[in-house]
């Protein structure tokens, strides 16, 4: 399992804010989970980190920061 945080440089929607907005994990089978740290808290499940980023990446405004290094 590998853990990460989502860092949002710019909030295009005005909902989630900027900075570290969520934390998550990618499991050995590739599934990913995302826990929102914002006012509107929720947990989401995704088939992959790529799918998660395609939904929440906001065209490069949000990045995955892996715990222990190597950002994507």
Q: How many Å apart are CA 33 and CA 5, to the nearest integer? A: 11
Q: Where are the domains of the chain?
A: 2-66
Q: How many Å apart are CA 64 and CA 46, to the nearest integer? A: 14
Helices (H), 18-58: 49-56
Q: What is the pLDDT along the chain (72 residues), one digit of tens a residue?
A: 999 999 988 666 666 677 899 999 999 999 999 999 988 889 999 999 999 999 887 677 888 999 986 655
What pTM value is reported for the model? 0.82
């Amino acid at each position: 399992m590998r853990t990460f945080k989502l860092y949002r440089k710019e909030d295009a929607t005005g909902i989630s804010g900027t900075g570290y907005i969520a934390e998550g994990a990618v499991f050995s089978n590739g599934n990913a989970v995302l826990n929102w740290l914002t006012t509107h808290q929720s947990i989401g499940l995704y088939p992959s980190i790529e799918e998660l980023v395609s939904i929440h990446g906001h065209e490069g405004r949000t990045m995955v920061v892996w715990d222990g290094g190597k950002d994507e």
